[in-house]
Every structure is written in structure tokens, then in C-alpha cells.
Structure 1
């Protein structure tokens, strides 16, 4: 699903930006995501951000089009995804606590 790449932050134009502000993400096949970068100069930064997002994905750049194959779901990969989901859940809990405190 394209929502898999929602948390990816890209170093673009001197600041961190969400991926959806520098590219469009689509899923032409069930096990493949494609990222169409709007500015060719940002393609390498987007590729690097996806690789370093901790999602276990290995993007393949082809100009402004980046193909992101989704690996098979084995036990090791499932455990990695559980850790990632736990990390995002904790960040959300902290954000909610901060909102309640204010």
C-alpha cells in the first residue's frame, strides 16, 4: 500500500519534507510501489530517504522514477515490521500526551 511510505521524510531544499510533497507514490502491482519524483534533482535524496527509513525497502532509481519492490513477508521481515509499528505507536502516544498536557 502507498501508505507504507507516508512516514518517509526527505532532505529536500534545505529541510526535511514529507515524501508526498516532493513526489507521488503509486502501486501499479501488488508487490511494487513506484515513486515519481517531481524534481529530477531530488531523485537521489528521495531514494536515500526511502532506503534509510528503517522499513527494509531497497529502492531502485531510474531517473525520476523510483521502483520500490516489496520483499516477501517471512518471519524475520514480520518481526522488523512489528518493531517499526511499535516505534510509530510510541511516537503517537507521546504526541497525544503532549496535546493533553497543553
Structure 2
């Protein structure tokens, strides 16, 4: 039935968005290498408005330990430094008058373990959202009028297969990120 297929397509779309969200959140967790994505989500006061850091500057990572943040206007350098310090990422910004320079320190064993826990929490949130989508989709399938029990059962099995697939993808992301963090 068309209606069943619509629910299945919507569930797959929502699960894909959940997976993409987890993947994006994991890029923010640093694994010892400097990456401008670590600074995503940092907001800078720019003419009184809170603005994402990547909209007031260009960010590059010339090597594995350094991030250069070159603001469009030199007057925003102190605001960028303050925003980075307030973001509590364990980074110490410095400036040379032209740009903000961040030297990314080596991770300690204790910090690596904390980051692995954080990765686990992010992935668990992703799994919960996938399971919630499964539950809601199954409830919607049962409410379809005029659908045979067999059609609904088959659709629920399809939803379960999608759920298992997306949870295994999240697990794979988690294993990859944990290995990345624990590699010295």
C-alpha cells in the first residue's frame, strides 16, 4: 500500500537525519588532531549579535597541532579569543595582531577516556532517537485503516531491519571515533 510506503520512507529519512546528526556531533569531539570543525557551534559577539565563528572569520589547519582563525575584521580578535575560552574546550587562543592561533595540546590518557565516554553518550542519543522513530512509525502503521494485518506485520519487520541497520551504522561510527581518540 502507498500509505505504508510513505511511513517507511519517512522513517528512513528521519533515521538518516539522526545518523547524520550523530556523525556531525562526533566531528566536534577532537581526537588530538587540530580540525576547524572543533570550533563549530562557538558563537562570537559581533556588533552586539551572537554570530557563529565561521561567519566572522576563515579557519584553517596548516598542520595536525594548529588552527589559524583569520577574522574578516581585526577588531573581532578579542571577541573570538573570549568566545573560545568561554566554550570550555581546553584550548588557549593567542593572537599575533592579524589572526588567532590555537595550538592544540596532546591529549592525556585521562582526557582520552573522558572523550570516549562523550562519544558513547552521543552515540547512545542517536540510538535512542532511531528507536523512538521505530516506535512512532510502528504506532502509525497500526492506525492505518484498510491495511491487512499481514501488510502491517511486513512493514513492521521492514522498520525493524532499518532500525538494526542504522544502529549498527552508529556503532561503526562509535568504534571508528574511539579508535581515533585512543590512537596516540
TM more than 0.5:
yes
Match of 1:23? Answer: 57
Q: Unpaired runs of 5+ in structure 1?
A: none
Q: Report the structure, 1 or 2, having the larger helix content.
A: 2
Task: Give runs of aligned pairs for residues 2-81 of structure 1, distance below 5 A.
Answer: 2-79=36-113, 81=115
Three-state SS of the structure 1 residue aligned to 2:76 is helix
TM-score by length of 2: 0.44
How far did 1:81 drift?
4.0
How far did 1:62 drift?
1.1
Three-state SS of the structure 1 residue aligned to 2:70 is strand
How far did 1:57 drift?
0.2
Three-state SS of the structure 1 residue aligned to 2:112 is helix
Q: Report the structure, 1 or 2, having the larger strand content.
A: 1
Q: Unpaired runs of 5+ in structure 2?
A: 1-34, 134-184
Using the TM superposition, name which of 20-29 and 68-77 deviates more.
68-77
Instruction: Count matched residues.
Output: 93
TM-score by length of 1: 0.76
TM-align CA RMSD: 2.5
